[in-house]
Structure 1
Amino acid sequence: MSTAGKKVICLFFQVHQPFRLKRYRFFDLGHDHYYYDDYTNESILRKVAERCYLPANKLILDLVNKNKGKFKVAFSLSGILIDQLRLYAPEVLDSFRKLAETGNVEFLAETQAHSLASLKSRNEFEKQVNNHVQLVREFIGYDPQSFRNTEMIYSDQLGSWVADMGFKALLTEGAKHILGWKSPNFLYCNTINPRLKVLLRNFVLSDDIAFRFSNRSWNEW
């Protein structure tokens, strides 16, 4: 993406952890109505928090401070993740809040339940998005202005809904079979409501960073 003659890379991190279900047997029917595996949920989240979330957020905070406003990133935290962090690792929420306070880290809105509500019901979709916005405001201290749908699902109609909700931008997949000859490295807009800016994920660059960056046998290493 180019801004005022300069090439800009927008770094975006989507963070999600599902609630895991416990083994539920036939004979539990009618007797046990609690379905979550609390031990597994807590142990996995604590491990990921200590090995990934906390050190990564510290590194990003250091880079933001070191570069004095020139380094910026964006996050999308699923509502389910926020709920688990509240239960098992509140210090991670504190680290995200510190990032938000720098003014250089953006937090996007999404569906509260990391759901596919946008494919079924506009009312349910908007309800879940509003619930997620409230979570981000309360626990991160940030008012989302941009949106990312579950699995980056997008249509022009969905984009118009998002614009009607007051969001300024939407992030979606730079799908090659949709773009054709066009590049994901440019800023687009929604055809129904051009006020909504549409940013596309460059999946090739994303995969290079996520899967090939540390592979010394990669031909572009």
Structure 2
Amino acid sequence: MKAICFYFQIHQPFRLKRYRFFDIGNDHYYDDEFTNEDILSRIAHRSYIPAAESLLRMIEESKGKFRCAISLTGVVIEQLEIYVPEFLDLLKKLADTGCVEFLAETYSHSLASLIDPEEFEAQVKAHDQLIYEKFGQHPKVLRNTELIYCDEMAPMIHSMGYKGVITEGAKHILGWKSPNYVYQAASCQKLKLLLKNDKLSDDIARNFSNTSWEAYPLTADKYIDWIASTPADEQVVNLFMNLETFGDFQPRETGIFQFLEALPRFAAERGVEFITPSDAISKLKPVAELSVLHPISWADEARDTS
């Protein structure tokens, strides 16, 4: 059985207002509340809310066969509570279906893992507690900021209680290997790695509305055919992207929501199932160790931390 593991990221920073020299000592409030509310509310109503409603329909119409993962930072949860609480309510409904897994990450979308292990652990624990309070789940799989990962981090991540990590299927790490398998960390064999399939993720996130793309237009049946036709022994296709892909990066007018909602039907016809990261690491056996000597990420062309 071929499987798809969908993961959606949600993050918005607290933006700072213009702060002049003469404000020093006089103004101790630094957040730009107007910009924070404007950006978050606009993206939520263009993307987050309709995307969450689509995911709910997909779960209901597939009778729970559609499954996915979501992670959102502590700082975006704080903003959602103030400006768009109705989206948090939708996320709670998704959690209640039992078909959506919430992942661990740093509370403030920070780079602490690169410079301060104690701060990194403190932020992840604070985030874990918030996710439990809001959605009733203790995350079992970690998604570090920008999917940052390297061998040095693996023992610490496992010692914090996580069974797996999702990261980038960087070509300079994989070489000839495929990202469509579960791997184990070279520095901690009990920690499993799920790697983003860069091409198939970008076909949705970047190329969906690109009229000059050779595969345009992308339809749900064509896309599922691509996944179903990957080599028979490959275990799982990890599709990792920002939730903003749906409605913001790819506007509603492109048909992106109809594409998303049609995926479970065509997947069922082709014998493709949907699983969460926890499903993948519990059900699928790692095929090999993977060593990542220097930090990788899903950012930019180099897929590193430069």
TM-score (norm: length of structure 1)? 0.94
Instruction: Report the AA paired with residue 166 of structure 1.
Output: G
- Partner SS, residue 4 of structure 2: coil
The range that moved more, 183-192 or 211-220, is 211-220
Match of 1:66 among 61, 66, 75: 61
CA contact (8 A) 1:93 1:140 kept: no
- How far apart are the structure 2 equivalents of 1:140 and 1:16? 17
Is residue 194 from structure 1 mapped to residue 189 from structure 2 by the alignment?
Answer: yes
- Partner SS, residue 68 of structure 1: coil
Match of 1:101 among 76, 79, 96: 96
**2:149 match:** 154
Shift of 1:217: 2.7
- Partner SS, residue 217 of structure 1: coil
Alignment of 1:92-131 (within 5 A): 92-131=87-126
Calculate percent identity across the aligned residue pairs: 56
| Residue-by-residue CA offset, 1:65-111 (whole Å, 9 max, x unaligned) | 11012111111101111111111111111111110111111110001
Structure 1 vs Structure 2 CA RMSD: 1.1
**2:20 match:** 25
**1:3 match:** none
CA contact (8 A) 1:15 1:81 kept: yes
- Partner SS, residue 162 of structure 1: helix
Unpaired runs of at least 5, structure 1 = 1-5
- How far apart are the structure 2 equivalents of 1:111 and 1:42? 22
Instruction: Report the AA paired with residue 117 of structure 1.
Output: A
- Count of paired positions: 216
Greater relative contact order, per chain length (Cα 8 Å cut-off, separation 6+): 2
Is residue 12 from structure 1 mapped to residue 7 from structure 2 by the alignment?
Answer: yes
Q: Which runs of 4+ in 1 moved over 4 A?
A: none
**2:164 match:** 169
Alignment of 1:181-220 (within 5 A): 181-220=176-215
Instruction: Report the AA paired with residue 167 of structure 1.
Output: Y
Instruction: Report the AA paired with residue 159 of structure 2.
Output: D
- How far apart are the structure 1 equivalents of 2:62 and 2:211? 29
| Residue-by-residue CA offset, 1:43-75 (whole Å, 9 max, x unaligned) | 211111111111110110010111012111111
Unpaired runs of at least 5, structure 2 = 217-306
- How far apart are the structure 2 equivalents of 1:157 and 1:50? 40
TM-score (norm: length of structure 2)? 0.69
